[in-house]
Amino acid sequence: MSANSMPLVSVIMPFYNTPVAYLHEAVHSVLAQSYKRCELLLVDDGSTPPCTDSALSLARLNPQRVRYLEHPGHDNRGLSASRNLGLLEARGEYVAFLDADDVWLPHKLAQQVPLLNAQPQAGMLYGNTLYWYSWNPAFSGRKRDFVPRLGFESEKLVQPPALLPLFLRGRVAVPCTSSILLRRSTLEDIGGFEESFEGMYEDQVLYAKMCVREPVFVSTLCWDRYRQHAYSMCAVNDPGKTLQARRRYLQWLETFLVEQRIDDPGVWRALREEQWVVRHPMVRRPLEKLRWLIWSCSDALPSAPRH
Concatenated DSSP letters for 129-156?
EEEE-TTSGGGTTT---B----S-SS-E
Note whether 223 and 183 are within 8 A (CB): no
CA dihedral 287, 291, 292, 293 (to 10 degrees): 100
Amino acid at 282: M
Query: Does the pLDDT value for residue 306 go beyond 70?
Result: no
Q: Is the pLDDT of residue 45 over 70?
A: yes
Q: Residue 124's closest CA among 95, 81, 165, 145?
A: 95
pLDDT higher than 60, residue 301? no
Percent of the chain with pLDDT over 70: 86
Q: What pLDDT was estimated at residue 283?
A: 64
pLDDT at residue number 296: 63
Residue 194's pLDDT is what? 96
Question: pLDDT confidence of 279, banded at 50, 70, 90?
Answer: confident
Backbone angles phi, psi at 304, to 5 degrees: -70, 145
Helix (H) or strand (E) run with residue 2 in it: none
Composition of the chain by helix, strand, coil, percent to 5:
45, 15, 40
Query: Beta strands of the chain (E only): which ranges?
Result: 9-15, 38-44, 66-70, 94-97, 103-104, 124-132, 156-158, 181-183, 216-227
The model's pTM: 0.90
Higher pLDDT, 292 or 138: 138
**Burial 148-163, CB ≥16 within 10 A → b, else e:** bbbbeeeeeebebbeb
| pLDDT 10s digits, 55-100 | 999 999 999 999 999 999 999 999 999 999 999 999 999 999 999 9
| C-alpha–C-alpha distance, residues 24 and 21, integer Å | 5
pLDDT of residue 302: 36
Answer whether residue 222 shows pLDDT above 50. Answer: yes
pLDDT band at 304 (very low <50, low <70, confident <90, very high): very low
